[in-house]
Amino acid sequence: MRTLDDLEVAGKRVLVRVDFNVPLDAGRITDDTRIRAALPTLRELREKGARLLLAAHLGRPKGRDASLSLRPAADRLAELLDEEVALAPSLDDVPDGDVVMLENVRFEAAETENDAVLARRYADLADCYVNDAFGAAHRAHASTEGVAHLLPSAAGRLLEREVTALRRILEAPERPLVAVVGGAKVTDKISVLETFLQRADRVLVGGAMCFPFFKAQGHEVGDSLCEEEGTEPARRVLGAGGDTLRLPTDLVAGRAFAADTETKALDGVDVPGGWMGLDIGRRTAAGYAEVIRDAGTVFWNGPMGAFELAPFAAGTRTVAEAVAESDAVTVVGGGDSAAALAGFGLADRVTHLSTGGGASLELIEGKRLPGVEALA
Ligand code: ADP
Ligand code: MG
């Protein structure tokens, strides 16, 4: 993969694909982590004398949509870079300037179709191309893949760091390699789990991920979040998992998905009717923490419970603290896992906090990311 070290940028106009897909509340950015994550690349390019043309997407607009304008992101970037950032209303109207940002690339349907004409139009606006949008690298779109073939191109520092950290887990991990997989959607994460069952020394399962497994084992799951489509894959994994796979042995249940609901600690994993399992229990959390402490490498994706609700945050907190205190190489992926870590004040205590949920999972599964392949 080519990096910024391989690209001659002095005096050039560089098209930089960034991931500025930030959460907005009534036009205000509520978390600018993704914009900050691009700063090392943008600053390096500016210091090397490049003029920047930034491309990014925001949300899933159907055509032009003022509520998904990149104006707030451009303004925030201007503050962080301490430079003027002009916003180009369209590809036909790109102002001159040292730092210019294109409007939301997904205003054009041709973007997600990886349209060759659109890719050519992007290319005509610049001398070279840098992709720093790791969070969008699993998509073959005109601004993430098509244009990379039309200009001298390279990975930005963020994308480089993400790919290096994640590949290292697969290719040369310090042992023992421990994967902690939780969160809500089993069907999204089952193949990551299967990858780790082949490569990791321990796979610890938490969150709503565990209920299809318990169902497959014949346990009661009550009203727990339990995806029907997850049961068959869970059965398959149970058959293949051997003693690498660890499931919770106790749970915390609630009457409803709410902070003020009635709660109950379950010594076991059968969830009675009228209750839902919303966190791993204390014994499970302590056991997981011990495995994490002795690890050489930890990959964590997905909270251990409904951590947004105080009564069900303890399992995720115990795991997060163990990850933070561990001497292992620790890599955390997933938007909610990152939010949980940040909420506990531990975001800077891990080796690598991935900015790309879907992209990091696909890379771990061994899939090729089109946005990365195009830079080879
Ligand atoms: P990430 O964004 O880190 O990949 P996910 O999006 O897969 O994680 O899952 C996060 C969500 O899973 C959180 O909103 C959390 O409330 C929910 N969750 C975790 N455990 C449970 C559970 N036992 N029951 C219901 N929801 C859960
Ligand atoms: Mg999520």
Q: Which ligand is nearest to the CA of 214?
A: 1
Predicted confidence (pLDDT) at residue 206 exceeds the cutoff of 90 = yes
Measured from the CB, is residue 305 less than 6 Å from ligand 1?
yes
Measured from the CB, is residue 184 less than 6 Å from ligand 1?
yes
Q: Which tokens sit at 250? A: 């106790």
Between the alpha carbon of residue 372 and those of residues 115, 143, 180, 189, 362, the distances in Å are 18, 12, 26, 21, 12
The residue nearest atom 16 of ligand 1, judged by CA position, is 306
Residues with CB under 5 A from ligand 2 (ion): 335-336
At residue 196, the pLDDT reads 92
Percent with pLDDT over 70 in the chain: 100
Q: What pLDDT band is residue 335 in, cutting at 50, 70 and 90?
A: confident
What's the gap in Å between 198 CA and the centre of ligand 1?
A: 24
Predicted confidence (pLDDT) at residue 366 exceeds the cutoff of 90 = no
Measured from the CB, is residue 301 less than 6 Å from ligand 1?
yes
Q: Which tokens sit at 257? A: 């998905």
Q: Which ligand is nearest to the CA of 303?
A: 1
Domain limits, the chain: 4-158, 173-365
* 338-348 confidence digits (pLDDT tens): 989 999 999 99
Residue range 3-25: average pLDDT?
Answer: 96
The residue nearest atom 27 of ligand 1, judged by CA position, is 306
- The C-alpha atoms of residue 25 and residue 10 are separated, in whole angstroms, by 38
Predicted confidence (pLDDT) at residue 218 exceeds the cutoff of 90 = yes
Predicted confidence (pLDDT) at residue 245 exceeds the cutoff of 90 = yes
Helix (H) or strand (E) run with residue 263 in it: strand 263-266
Q: Which tokens sit at 212? A: 């299809």
Instruction: Judge if the upstream peptide bond of residue 61 is cis by omega within 30 degrees of 0.
Output: no
Q: What pLDDT band is residue 65 in, cutting at 50, 70 and 90?
A: very high
Picking from 143, 61, 57, 50, the residue whose alpha carbon sits closest to that of residue 97 is 50
At residue 356, the pLDDT reads 83
Residue range 181-191: average pLDDT?
Answer: 89
Give the CATH fold of the 173-365 domain. Rossmann fold (3.40.50)
Q: What pLDDT band is residue 134 in, cutting at 50, 70 and 90?
A: very high
What's the gap in Å between 337 CA and the centre of ligand 1?
A: 8
What's the gap in Å between 231 CA and the centre of ligand 1?
A: 18
At residue 183, the pLDDT reads 95
**In testing the pocket of ligand 1, which one of 301, 336, 341, 364 has its CB within 8 Å of the most ligand atoms?**
336
**In terms of C-beta density within 10 A (0-12 exposed, 13-18 middle, 19 or more buried), how is residue 353 classed?**
buried
Cβ(357)–Cβ(327) below 8 Å: no
Q: What type of residue sits at position 113?
A: E
Q: What pLDDT band is residue 188 in, cutting at 50, 70 and 90?
A: confident
Tell me the whole-structure pTM to 2 decimals. Answer: 0.89
- Other Cβ atoms less than 10 A from the Cβ of 293: the count is 15
* 246-303 confidence digits (pLDDT tens): 999 999 999 999 999 999 999 999 999 999 999 999 999 999 999 999 999 999 999 9
DSSP single-letter state for residue 147:
G
At residue 300, the pLDDT reads 96
At residue 242, the pLDDT reads 79
Helix (H) or strand (E) run with residue 339 in it: helix 335-343
Percent with pLDDT over 90 in the chain: 88
* 77-121 confidence digits (pLDDT tens): 999 999 999 999 999 999 999 999 999 999 999 999 999 999 999
At residue 357, the pLDDT reads 82
Measured from the CB, is residue 337 less than 6 Å from ligand 1?
yes
Tokens 């318990």 locate to 214
Residue range 166-191: average pLDDT?
Answer: 92
Give the CATH fold of the 4-158 domain. Rossmann fold (3.40.50)
Q: What pLDDT band is residue 29 in, cutting at 50, 70 and 90?
A: very high
Between the alpha carbon of residue 109 and those of residues 27, 117, 346, the distances in Å are 23, 12, 39
Predicted confidence (pLDDT) at residue 241 exceeds the cutoff of 80 = no
What's the gap in Å between 163 CA and the centre of ligand 2?
A: 20
Between the alpha carbon of residue 89 and those of residues 52, 59, 135, 217, 263, the distances in Å are 16, 17, 24, 56, 52
Predicted confidence (pLDDT) at residue 170 exceeds the cutoff of 90 = no
- Mean pLDDT of the chain, nearest integer: 95
DSSP single-letter state for residue 16:
E
Tokens 């390096």 locate to 44
Q: What type of residue sits at position 218?
A: G
Q: What pLDDT band is residue 182 in, cutting at 50, 70 and 90?
A: very high
Between the alpha carbon of residue 263 and those of residues 95, 258, 284, 306, the distances in Å are 58, 10, 17, 13
375 or 190, higher pLDDT: 375
303 or 335, higher pLDDT: 303
At residue 370, the pLDDT reads 97
